[in-house]
Amino acid sequence: MKIRRYKTKYLTGYRAGIAYSLLPVFLMSLLFVLPVAAAENSDTASDAERPKIGVVLGGGGARGAAHVGVLKILEDLHIPVDYIVGTSMGAIVAGLAATGMSSEEIRQAMITMDWNDVFDDEPPRADRSFRRKRDDDLYTFDAALGVHEGEIKAPLAAIRGQKFNLVLNRLTLPVSTVRDFDELTIPFRAVTTDLETGGEVVLDGGSLASSVRASMAVPAVFDPVEIDGRMLADGGMVNNVPVDVARAMGADIVIVVNVSSPLLTRDNIENSLDISGQLAGFLTLNVQQQLDTLGDSDVLITPQLGDIGSGSFDRVADAITAGETAAQGLRESLSRYSLSLAQYATHLEQRPQFRKQAPMIDFIRIINHSAVGDDIIADRISAQPGQPLDVKQLEADIGRVYGLEIFKTVNYEIVEEDGKNGLVITAQEKNWGPGYIQGGITAANDLEGVSSFRLGLVYTQTEINDLNGEWRTGLQLGDEPGIFTELYQPLDTLSRYFVSGKLIIASSNINEFDSDGNNISTNRMKAGGIELGVGREFGTWGEGRLGYRRATGEVEVKTGPPQPDYDVDIGEVYLRLLADKFDHPYFPREGYVSKVEYRTARESYGASSDYDQWLFGYSQAISWDKNTVVGTITGATTEDDNAPIEGLFELGGFLLISGLEEDQLSGQHTGLARLVYYRQLSDDGFLRIFKTYLGASLETGNAWQDADDISFDNMISAGSLFLGSDTPVGPLYIGYGVTDTDEKSAFLYLGPRFSF
């Protein structure tokens, strides 16, 4: 600060007198101004002249949450961070810190995050299209093989990162238009690996969310991320503790946090991330090479994380505490770089700041890497130019696009072009589609020799046109073999209206029992025909369909007393209304499903006789803690009691009057009411495959040939105890059922049981 000297010899007379009279005031003011100016100069000089500090956060999966605890201590000690670099989980934490988030904000984000859900690519059932929900009855197998250009293909990794991408976008939204990482609140770098060359790629710009996501893309666990034409994956394979990157940015001093995983024992390898962490332990020999470059002025922090593994995301709070404890233990070494409160405040004020408010959207762009039309995506996005971005609504809209299950990921970013903010939505086609082979299985066994088995394989070709029409062909093997082919064609971009046509050849068993519950004959019905339908979907939760069925065939005796074969003719029109708001198809915790259907068979439609039928059902699930109760009421009735044998309704088996054999009861009318209780036993730990439940049921119902016989007095009451599990091949139940008519059976049942 320069002080200009005024010469008094030019001041004469009155002016000079005034000048001399003000001189004491001027001198006194200097006594106050000069110290303040000196302090300001001192603060400015201290920030410009002090050594630059870089923070290096290493990779380690869930163990990397310890970085948050270290950052808290650095904040408490008023240690300025001039550069921040990270690999893998370290890149996530470093990237969030680079946006200006405090350690407490990052901690809250981590401990409140549902990591199980974030790493589960299955869309919430509420987001799935209604057609995909109906598939749950056909495809019980979790895995699906893809068919791409005539070749069988599988996904690149276990986790595509759909939900994780949205979380990262939300957390980094304030800096979404920043494309140079030197312009962030803290200059930042993310370390990744080029999967094609095996070389190190240091990202210094672009989308922050995509960059940190790429840095932690553990091969075979997370899909790699394509950036500028390169397939990038976890940086831990080439530089897990990137000290040299911080030095290259200009750091004179580095504070390094090493959370590398020690090799696990056999008993501690529990999931796919643990396996990847073990492999990373073999590969990251580069860690020691980086640590060997540290000098006396640098600080190495190694949190004691014990048995917290790279996949222990349920223990991020413990990891954060461990990081804080480790940094506290090095407080003396770290304090060398502390600033005064005033200096630290000045340092924070001089960093770029970003407003945490939704940007105004000036334009919207769709990047569609699939065969369906752009409007399939655009018409499901409610954001409009000229409005501020509603992140919550956008994520819900993207969820519905992703719920179509034709895209590998659906992501968004905010870009700035010519001073305008744009919302860019990118839908990435599955690399293992658009054809898919899926399977399903249904099996029942009473453990006394009575069993049934059905295995289905279905090939679905999606994206056959702009409106995402589908062609599907299925084969069923086992007790009731059959084959079908179906065309399903939406009529508008929102898939509200549709038409469908199906050709089917199938066989089914019709069992007859005596009054004691003994199977006296089994008849096999073989038929072939068509089914045509037109309908409307209601959002993702319901469907109304008007359809026509026409089939011909015959019924022949398979076991039991000889009887002549007879022909079967089916010709009916039906109107069906379905709703499905269950949050899970096999073990729901909340929501409901319902069905109302009217069928009218007429000789003029091709039926052997005229008859009319009504079917209805309703199930409601409620839960508390790990407990669930599902109440169900179903019924079916034939007007005038005149349906032929192929039109009879059946009842019997697990949850359909447990203790009876499968389909032991049949009649013109059926009714059933039940309460099912189950409690989840298995842990919700990260990437658990099986959820196991202990349950019980109370049931009452019957089947009647004559409407006049329907009475509460002749209802059969039953109950069961069971152990259930949601396995990769479908829901599995093992238990024991008993009726008040003293019929009982143990059972093993594999397949859906709560659908209509």
DSSP letters of 366-409?
A: EEEESSS-HHHHHTT----TTEE--HHHHHHHHHHHHTTS-EEE
Which strand (E) or helix (H) includes residue 47?
A: helix 13-49
Task: Identify the pLDDT of residue 5.
Answer: 27
Q: Is the peptide bond before 434 cis (omega within 30 degrees of 0)?
A: yes
Angle (deg, nearest 10), helices 66-76 and 316-329: 40
**CA-based R_g, the chain, Å:** 34
Two structure tokens written together for 561: 């007393």
User: Which of residues 474 and 520 earns the better pLDDT score?
Assistant: 474
Q: Matching CATH topology for 50-121+159-350 and 496-750? A: no
Given a cut of 70, whether residue 454 has pLDDT beyond it is yes
Query: In the structure, what pLDDT confidence band is assigned to residue 402 with cuts at 50, 70 and 90?
Result: very high
- Three-state secondary-structure class, residue 137: helix
Beta-carbon contacts of residue 347 (< 8 Å; ≥ 6 apart): 47, 80, 339
Rounded Cα–Cα distance for residues 143 and 681 (Å): 24
Percent of the chain with pLDDT over 70: 89
Rounded Cα–Cα distance for residues 523 and 505 (Å): 17
Query: In the structure, what pLDDT confidence band is assigned to residue 21 with cuts at 50, 70 and 90?
Result: very low
- CB of 87 closer than 8 Å to CB of 58: yes
- CB of 97 closer than 8 Å to CB of 70: no
Given a cut of 90, whether residue 725 has pLDDT beyond it is yes
What's domain 496-750's architecture?
Beta Barrel (2.40)
**pLDDT tens profile 264-321:** 666 766 666 566 666 656 555 578 889 889 999 999 999 999 989 888 999 999 999 9
Any idea what the Cα angle at residue 331 is, between residues 327 and 332, rounded to 5°?
145
Task: Identify the pLDDT of residue 49.
Answer: 79
Query: In the structure, what pLDDT confidence band is assigned to residue 565 with cuts at 50, 70 and 90?
Result: confident
In this structure, of 23-32, 76-85, 644-653, 666-675, the range with the lowest mean pLDDT score is 23-32
Which candidate, 490, 579, 549, 480, places its Cα nearest to that of 134?
579
Given a cut of 80, whether residue 560 has pLDDT beyond it is no
Rounded Cα–Cα distance for residues 579 and 321 (Å): 47
Record the pTM: 0.85
Rounded Cα–Cα distance for residues 507 and 381 (Å): 44
Average pLDDT over residues 179-207: 97
Two structure tokens written together for 296: 């006396």
Rounded Cα–Cα distance for residues 404 and 540 (Å): 10
Two structure tokens written together for 276: 């990847």
Given a cut of 60, whether residue 46 has pLDDT beyond it is no
Rounded Cα–Cα distance for residues 244 and 593 (Å): 58
Residue showing tokens 């009279």: 21
Task: Identify the pLDDT of residue 37.
Answer: 42
Given a cut of 80, whether residue 362 has pLDDT beyond it is yes
Task: Identify the pLDDT of residue 284.
Answer: 54
Question: Looking at the DSSP assignment, which residues form a beta bridge with residue 666?
Answer: 650
Task: Identify the pLDDT of residue 447.
Answer: 79
**For the chain, what are the domain ranges?**
8-37, 50-121+159-350, 496-750
Rounded Cα–Cα distance for residues 241 and 254 (Å): 11
Rounded Cα–Cα distance for residues 622 and 624 (Å): 7
Task: Identify the pLDDT of residue 608.
Answer: 93
Task: Identify the pLDDT of residue 280.
Answer: 59
Task: Identify the pLDDT of residue 271.
Answer: 64
Rounded Cα–Cα distance for residues 314 and 303 (Å): 18
Query: In the structure, what pLDDT confidence band is assigned to residue 14 with cuts at 50, 70 and 90?
Result: very low
Supply the CATH classification number for the domain 50-121+159-350: 3.40.1090.10
Given a cut of 90, whether residue 463 has pLDDT beyond it is yes
Rounded Cα–Cα distance for residues 658 and 430 (Å): 43
Task: Identify the pLDDT of residue 301.
Answer: 97
**pLDDT tens profile 140-180:** 888 889 998 888 998 888 899 999 999 999 999 999 999 99
Average pLDDT over residues 212-235: 94
Rounded Cα–Cα distance for residues 633 and 388 (Å): 47
Two structure tokens written together for 54: 């870089």
- CB of 107 closer than 8 Å to CB of 319: no
Percent of the chain with pLDDT over 90: 75
Rounded Cα–Cα distance for residues 646 and 525 (Å): 8
**pLDDT tens profile 99-135:** 999 999 999 999 999 998 999 999 999 999 999 999 9
Task: Identify the pLDDT of residue 15.
Answer: 36
**Measured in whole angstroms, how far is the alpha carbon of residue 398 from the centre of its chain?**
12
Query: In the structure, what pLDDT confidence band is assigned to residue 515 with cuts at 50, 70 and 90?
Result: low
